[in-house]
A and B are shown apart, each in its own frame.
Chain A
Amino acid sequence: QVQLVQSGAEVKKPGASVKVSCKASGYTFINYYMHWVRQAPGQGLEWMGIINPSGGSTTYAQKFQGRLTLSRVPSTSTVYMELSGLRSEDTAVYYCARDIQVVPAVGCPDYWGQGTLVTVSS
């Protein structure tokens, strides 16, 4: 069965960076894009970006351009989300989520990770 297991909660100071991992299992890793979505406390879902685990190509939401880096290590079936220049507004639960379509098609997520809480506080 498809499983996405994310790394644990993080507490960071303003201006720092955070790197969250998402380890996939139960399917062929390079065949499906991976999305990253975040949810601030009490707020809705916000799409951040997407990575092709095969070639590594990425697309980021305009809001995160310059601060967000998605990467992957195919040999370990792991995708990483790194967000730099953290501010208090980045406090949120961050989710990785596998795309429903097989590469090269891109759809929307079907399976989601458990989420990683990132708290930004001085």
Chain B
Amino acid sequence: EIVMTQTPLSLSVTPGQPASISCKSSQSLLHSDGKSYLYWYLQKPGQSPQLLIYEVSNRFSGVPDRFSGSGSGTDFTLKISRVEAEDVGLYYCMQSIQLPRGFGGGTKVEIK
């Protein structure tokens, strides 16, 4: 089973400033097809999770371009170029290279 580790646990950000979240996997998420299979989700307070990024760097439909993903193999990063108030919540990474699927422990983003 692949273990996903996120850092930091929490982040307090001034609106308009950037933010970055790291996700590391215990095994490589690099497939033989050359793609890495890592997803990012945001769970806003009181809501269901919503998909932000799929396959490392592809923004899901409707996701603002201030969100970007990068990485390969075992190390991945989600960046928010300019944090807005609506970006508060819990961020999770998830791997899709093998079953069972697994989530990172989550990173709480709040506004200063």
Q: Which residues of B contact A59 (CB under 8 A)?
A: 99-100
Q: Which residues of B contact A102 (CB under 8 A)?
A: none
Question: Is A53 on the interface with B (CB-CB < 8 A)?
Answer: no
Which residues between 27 and 67 of chain A lie within 8 Å of chain B, taking CB atoms? 35, 37, 44-47, 49-50, 59-62
Taken together as a complex, chains A and B put the C-alpha atoms of A44 and B9 apart, in Å, by 11
Are A62 and B49 CB-contacts (below 8 A) given A100-B54, A107-B54, A108-B101? no
B99–A50 touching, CB < 8 Å? yes
In the complex, which range does the number of interface residues on chain A fall in? 20 to 34
Q: How many A-B residue pairs have CB under 8 A?
A: 63
Q: Which residues of B contact A50 (CB under 8 A)?
A: 99, 101
A62–B1 touching, CB < 8 Å? yes
Residues of B in contact (CB 8 Å), total: 25
Are A108 and B48 CB-contacts (below 8 A) given A45-B106, A50-B101? no
Taken together as a complex, chains A and B put the C-alpha atoms of A115 and B96 apart, in Å, by 22
Taken together as a complex, chains A and B put the C-alpha atoms of A106 and B96 apart, in Å, by 8
Taken together as a complex, chains A and B put the C-alpha atoms of A37 and B101 apart, in Å, by 10
Are A108 and B49 CB-contacts (below 8 A) given A35-B101, A47-B102, A61-B100? no
A–B complex contacts, Cβ < 8 Å, 22 sampled? A35-B101, A37-B49, A37-B103, A44-B92, A44-B103, A44-B104, A44-B105, A45-B92, A47-B101, A59-B99, A59-B100, A62-B100, A95-B48, A107-B96, A108-B37, A108-B39, A108-B54, A108-B101, A110-B54, A112-B50, A114-B48, A115-B48
> Taking beta carbons and an 8 Å cutoff, which residues of A are in contact with B?
35, 37, 44-47, 49-50, 59-62, 95, 97, 100, 106-115
